[in-house]
């Protein structure tokens, strides 16, 4: 009996998300749909796609809200999407709509980062790309960077960094980097973690496949709870969202508790959405709890 050709043999499958074939191909099972940049007919938010690094392919979608005063400087929200480090992008309908909504409601310029994804680019590439994107944005603080919307419209004393799930893990990493190494010309006011994906006791099969050099639960990039420098993150305020029915809820709570005990000198807040699951706000943005979540983000950004 002939064996199946190698191209159809699966070496690893993460149910509903992706599979890797023995010939090296990756098939994403969801999160591949994209929408073009546009001007939202309801809110007037404009978006466009930009390349941050031609060498690596690092790119982003940037959003500009409609405001009556074109000279007004706005906060910057750098957003890092989730999807298990493997699926989704700033160009997917879920994230395009979510970041556009945040730009409109909070009156921020939003930079939604398209990092290189695993498994084609194993971790820690996504961590490196995310930090490169933050540094690229910060370089506009001298007002002569390559992107006019950042040069002309952003107040670099009011920068926020946020992300959901795996993107929240990446968000913590870049804010930690900023705390340890600085970010010239830029003040990160706050960090927003939506349902963060952190490791607890052991990495699990997913990270074994997409992050083969992971140092286990002692790796500060995936589990910051044991990081001796956790309290040195480079922002003054932290907002952590968890959801009652999310399998990652306890990890988000553990992060919140670890940060409070770390000697961190800023303000940390946690908000739990009762009866909801992982990143529910992306899939049902008009439900009352998703609206409330966005309202809390808007207050967090605009309270100072």
Number of H helices, E strands in the chain: 8, 11
Q: Is residue 267 part of a domain?
A: yes
Structure tokens at 277: 């699951």
Mean pLDDT, rounded, for 14-27: 92
pLDDT above 70: residue 182: yes
Listed residue (200, 177, 195) closest to 130, CA to CA: 177
The CATH number assigned to the domain holding 177 equals: 3.40.50.1820
Structure-token pair, residue 92: 């997917």
* 14 within some domain: no
Name the least confident of 22-26, 61-65, 254-258, 290-294. 22-26
User: Domain for residue 26, yes or no?
Assistant: no
pLDDT at res. 145: 97
pLDDT (tens digit per residue) in 58-116: 999 999 999 889 889 999 999 999 999 999 999 999 999 999 999 999 999 999 999 99
Contact of 217 with 203, CB cutoff 8 Å: yes
Tell whether the model's pLDDT for residue 13 goes beyond 70: yes
The sheet that has 10-14: what strands, in order across it?
Answer: 10-14, 18-21, 26-28
pLDDT value at position 78? Answer: 99
Which distant-in-sequence residues (6+ apart) come within 8 Å of 9 by Cβ? 21, 22, 23
Which has the closest alpha carbon to 60: 131, 126, 111? 111
pLDDT, tens digit (0-9, with 9 covering 90-100), for 209-241: 999 999 877 789 999 988 999 999 999 999 999
Instruction: Provide the annotated active-site residues.
Output: 165, 246, 278
**121-139 tens-digit pLDDT:** 999 999 999 999 999 999 9
- Residue 110 confidence (pLDDT): 98
Distance from C-alpha of 212 to C-alpha of 205, rounded to nearest angstrom: 10
Beta strands in the chain (DSSP E): 10-14, 18-21, 26-28, 46-53, 58-64, 74-80, 109-114, 154-164, 188-194, 237-243, 267-273
- Is 116 a member of any domain? yes
Is residue 67 included in any domain, yes or no?
yes
User: Is the pLDDT assigned to residue 268 strictly greater than 60?
Assistant: yes
* Res. 4 pLDDT band, cuts 50 70 90: very low
First to last CA, the chain: 71
What's the pLDDT score for residue 7?
66
Residue 269's CB is within 10 A of a number of other CB atoms, namely 13
What value does the mean pLDDT take over residues 139-165?
Answer: 97
Q: How far apart are CA 148 and CA 90, in angstroms?
A: 20
Q: Provide the pLDDT for residue 98.
A: 98
Among 50-59, 127-136, 176-185, 192-201, the range scoring the smallest mean pLDDT is 192-201
Domain that holds residue 231: 35-302
Nearest to 246 by CA among 210, 282, 215, 219: 282
Please count the other Cβ atoms lying within 10 Å of the Cβ belonging to residue 48. 15
276-287 pLDDT, tens digit each: 999 999 999 999
Residue 67 pLDDT: 87
- Structural domain includes residue 10: no
Rounded to an integer, what distance in angstroms lies between the CA atom of residue 35 and that of residue 58?
18
Which pLDDT belongs to residue 200?
Answer: 76
pLDDT score at 188: 98
The whole model's pTM is what? Answer: 0.96
CA triple 41-45-50, angle to 5 deg: 120
178 assigned to some structural domain:
yes
17 within domain boundaries: no
288-302 and 93-106 helices cross at what angle (nearest 10)? 50
CA–CA distance, 67 with 53 (Å, rounded to integer):
30
- What mean pLDDT is reported for the chain? 94
SS3 assignment, position 196: coil
Q: How many structural domains is the chain composed of?
A: 1
């Amino acid at each position: 009996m002939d064996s199946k050709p190698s191209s159809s043999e699966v070496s690893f499958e993460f149910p509903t998300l992706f599979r890797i074939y023995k010939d090296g191909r990756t098939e994403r099972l969801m999160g591949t749909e994209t929408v073009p940049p546009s001007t939202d007919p309801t809110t007037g938010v404009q978006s466009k796609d930009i390349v941050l690094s031609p060498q690596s392919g690092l790119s982003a979608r940037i959003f500009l809200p409609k405001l009556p005063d074109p000279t007004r400087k706005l906060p910057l929200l750098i957003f890092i999407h989730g999807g298990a480090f493997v699926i989704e992008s700033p160009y997917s309908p879920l994230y395009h709509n979510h970041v556009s909504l945040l730009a409109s409601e909070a009156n921020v310029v939003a930079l939604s980062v398209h990092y290189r994804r695993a498994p084609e680019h194993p971790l820690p590439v996504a961590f490196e790309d995310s930090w490169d994107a933050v540094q690229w944005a910060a370089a506009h603080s001298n007002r002569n960077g390559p992107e006019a919307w950042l040069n002309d419209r952003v107040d670099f004393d009011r920068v926020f960094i946020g992300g959901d799930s795996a993107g929240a893990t990446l968000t913590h990493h870049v804010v930690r980097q900023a705390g340890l190494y600085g970010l010239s010309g830029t003040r990160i006011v706050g960090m927003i973690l939506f349902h963060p994906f952190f490791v607890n006791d052991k990495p699990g099969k997913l990270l074994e496949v997409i992050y083969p050099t992971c140092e286990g639960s002692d790796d500060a990039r995936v589990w910051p709870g044991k990081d001796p420098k956790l309290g040195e993150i480079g922002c003054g305020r932290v907002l952590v969202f968890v959801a009652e029915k999310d399998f990652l809820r306890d990890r988000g709570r553990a992060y919140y508790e670890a940060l409070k005990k770390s000697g961190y000198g800023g303000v940390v807040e946690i908000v739990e959405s009762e009866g909801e699951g992982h990143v529910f706000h992306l899939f049902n943005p008009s439900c009352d709890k998703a609206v409330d979540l966005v309202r809390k983000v808007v207050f967090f950004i605009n309270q100072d």
